[in-house]
Structure 1
Amino acid sequence: MEGRTTLMALCIAITIFFRVLGALGSGKAQQLQVPPPAIFVFGDGAVDVGNNNYLEANDASEPVQANHPFYGIDFPNSKATGRFSNGYNLADFIAKAMGLKISPPAYLSLPGERVNSITGVNYASEGAGIWNITNYNGVSIHLLMQVDYFAATKSQMKTKLGNSELKNLLSKSIFLLDIGTIDIFYIWNRQFYTMDDNEINIPNLITS
């Protein structure tokens, strides 16, 4: 059990390290490039900018939300926006490094047409996992659904921009994916999984 806990802590530390390294590396590289026309964000709570604010409870649980104090105390106007942070989060910092002002808006916060955000959309949701079974009690936007939302956005943008202009925009855009922590928790917290099982599960997770 002690070995399992130590390994889990190591996985978390590695995840945090690469998140920070990725943000710094992206910013450094972007100094030599033209800012992208748009950024599309997929992932979990590290990059959620408010999608969970719009989720409703189900029979099993309520969505985890960050729309109340003391979240956002260092955000402009000390506003709790739904970011699981005291201020900006990883999506914001990477967007800033890419030359944008802030992360694009949360998908569920946009009007029905949702095509007014040509500069990008954020689909991330706290509690989301790569696998559907690892999502927080079914009250988060799992990765497959986030991809479906992007497909809907793409279809609406195609209607507005036309196929050629849309392809050009997407080819120059940034697609940010930050997810997998909850899947690692799921693997290491399942008592019936052995170390041999995890030699299969973790590569499958990476492949997913």
Structure 2
Amino acid sequence: MELWSVVFVCCVLCYSFCHSAEAIVKLGGNETIPALILFGDSIVDTGTNNNLITLLKCNFPPYGRDFQGGIPTGRFSNGKVPADFIAEELGISEYITPYKSPSLQPGDLLKGVNFASGGSGYDSLTAQIVSVTPLSEQLEQFKEYIGKLKGNFGEAKTNFILSKSLVLVVSSSNDIANTYFASGVRKVTYDVSGYTDMLVQEASSFVKELYGLGARRIGVFGAPPLGCLPFVRTLFGGLERVCTEEINMASKLFNSKLSSELHNLNQSLPQAKVVYIRIYDSLLNIIQNPINYGFDVADRGCCGTGTVEAAFLCNPLDPTTCVDDSKYVFWDSYHPTQKTYQILVGEILNKYIISFS
């Protein structure tokens, strides 16, 4: 991949058995979720990229300015991301530690870990372009994690954690928005239909790998309305920066195929709870009706001009960053604000958590 392509994409991017928290959202009967295990991209990355040699980092201000203590932890937002809200709402932990974090302790393993790496995707080229951790490597790290669980807590407890944990996969946004449309590198060999077919096949293979390793409660997120991301509006939305219907259609096509494939897997994998988590409509509704949710701005982010800034372009040197990010749907040109994430997670848990019982 030529350097200009790398720079282009970067510039436009982006229970434990004795737990202390009380679950707010609960499963039916006596079912519990002891741990949360995460794979995917920047939507749930809680600091994986901090220790990578990549431009896709956010462990510097103004990222994290609304996080505990105002510390930029490597979360691609002004504060908490979905991983945090989900773990907290399920009563697992306040935060799920990145697997590669130097602060990871043996006890943390019981609550789950986070393998997600900002900039990654189902397409191996997606992570390669921006030098982040691909899903294939995240899977290898998961195997290491299983070995550590067995070494520290024994096989019986490990099997319990694996089978009862909630395993979430959040991917595809970077594939569609960046690798296919923004950089155009995959357009040479795929049309949209062919590319979404490939992504769904990769997603299916990933789920089957997780199942083979012992995971049973697996939730897979669909793609959001990528045509309405601020940076996509800037690139493809003309002078008025409107949502790009072609890219939204690609998201919907992928989602339709993914939903069907996950339904088939749920039927064919014994004792599995494979759930398709639709996020498209929820986020689009917020974007189209921001006032209903207490927002004023939905077409640009808070950071900088909000039109192209993400990762290293969203930095403390830009004086135009907004003062009140609670009025913004998006934090930077790619990622929602903490407030938006909290709304979305509430809707997701209320709608889908019963599916894992």
Which residue among 62, 66, 71 is the counterpart of 1:79? 71
Listed as ranges, the gaps of 5+ residues in structure 2 are: 1-22, 203-357
How many residues are treated as equivalent by the alignment? 176
Which residue among 6, 11, 26 is the counterpart of 1:30? 26
Partner of 2:7: none
Contact 1:52 1:63 in 2 (8 A): no
Contact 2:39 2:114 in 1 (8 A): yes
Partner of 1:197: 191
Q: CA deviation at 1:159?
A: 1.5
Partner of 2:164: 172
Partner of 1:122: 114
The one-letter code sitting in structure 2 at the alignment partner of 1:163 is E
Shift in CA distance, 137/31, structure 1 to aligned 2, threshold 3 Å: same
Comparing 153-162 and 46-55, the one that deviates more: 153-162
Q: CA deviation at 1:103?
A: 3.2
Q: TM-score, normalised by structure 1?
A: 0.75
SS of 1:121 mapped into structure 2:
coil
Please list the CA deviations of residues 134-160 of structure 1 after superposition, one character each: whole Å capped at 9, or x if unmatched.
115352111110111010010111112
Q: CA deviation at 1:28?
A: 8.6
Contact 2:180 2:186 in 1 (8 A): no
SS of 1:107 mapped into structure 2:
coil
Q: CA deviation at 1:110?
A: 3.6
CA–CA distance in 1 between the matches of 2:186 and 2:59?
Answer: 36
CA–CA distance in 1 between the matches of 2:61 and 2:55?
Answer: 16
The one-letter code sitting in structure 1 at the alignment partner of 2:50 is N
CA–CA distance in 1 between the matches of 2:132 and 2:167?
Answer: 20
Shift in CA distance, 203/80, structure 1 to aligned 2, threshold 3 Å: same
Listed as ranges, the gaps of 5+ residues in structure 1 are: 1-26, 57-61
Which runs of structure 2 are paired with 1:1-208 in the superposition (5 Å)?
30=26, 32=28, 34-56=31-53, 62-110=54-102, 115-117=106-108, 118-135=110-127, 137-185=129-177, 186-189=179-182, 190=184, 193=187, 197-208=191-202
Q: TM-score, normalised by structure 2?
A: 0.45
Shift in CA distance, 74/191, structure 1 to aligned 2, threshold 3 Å: closer
Comparing 172-181 and 157-166, the one that deviates more: 157-166
Identity %: 31
The one-letter code sitting in structure 2 at the alignment partner of 1:200 is G
Shift in CA distance, 155/188, structure 1 to aligned 2, threshold 3 Å: same
Contact 1:91 1:103 in 2 (8 A): yes
SS of 1:99 mapped into structure 2:
coil
Query: Whose relative contact order is higher, 1 or 2, with alpha carbons under 8 Å and at least 6 apart?
Result: 1
Q: CA deviation at 1:30?
A: 2.9
SS of 2:191 mapped into structure 1:
helix
Shift in CA distance, 111/94, structure 1 to aligned 2, threshold 3 Å: closer
Shift in CA distance, 84/54, structure 1 to aligned 2, threshold 3 Å: same
CA–CA distance in 2 between the matches of 1:100 and 1:163?
Answer: 21
Q: Which has the larger radius of gyration?
A: 2
